Amino acid sequence: MKRTTRFIAFAMLALAVSACSRSRIPANQDTSAPTTLRVENQGFLDMVIYIVPSGGARFRLGTAGGNSTTRLRIPSSYIFGATNLQFLADPVGGRRTPVSNGILVSPGDEVTLYIPPGS
């Protein structure tokens, strides 16, 4: 039963990760503003967050503590105009590593990644 509960929790995490949202910067705002990933980790486990550009190799952005909100800067070297990116949340001490669906990210955007409780 515990294994089924864990599977459901990670399935929920995968769905939440795929439900990323972003906010566009207004036309009059400075486009040199940093591009950030806001991670709302409502789960108990800390998560190591990676960016996965379309090339496929992952790059570590940082760690999002359990039951907290963390902002991580996305390096400008990964953003070329509107760029399709995926994000990977690797639970510290966990077995599964869900990956988000692709999302278009532009310079100055803030992407939000939700990790639900029980993950």
pLDDT tens, position by position, 1-39 = 444 334 444 444 554 544 454 444 445 445 578 999 999
Q: What range does the domain containing 50 cover? A: 2-22+33-115
* Residue 41 domain flag: yes
Tally of structural domains, the chain? 1
* Residue 89 domain flag: yes
Q: What is the mean pLDDT of the chain?
A: 79
* Residue 28 domain flag: no
- Average of per-residue pLDDT across 74-95: 90
SS (H, E, C) the chain: CHHHHHHHHHHHHHHHHHCCEEECCCCCCCCCCCEEEEEEECCCCCEEEEEEECCCCCEEEEEECCCEEEEEEECHHHCCCCEEEEEEEEECCCCCCCECCCEEECCCCEEEEEECCCC
* Residue 27 domain flag: no
* Residue 62 domain flag: yes
Rounded Cα distance, 104 and 82, in Å: 6
The CATH code of the domain that includes 39 is: 2.60.40
Tell me phi and psi for residue 77, to 5 degrees.
-70, -15
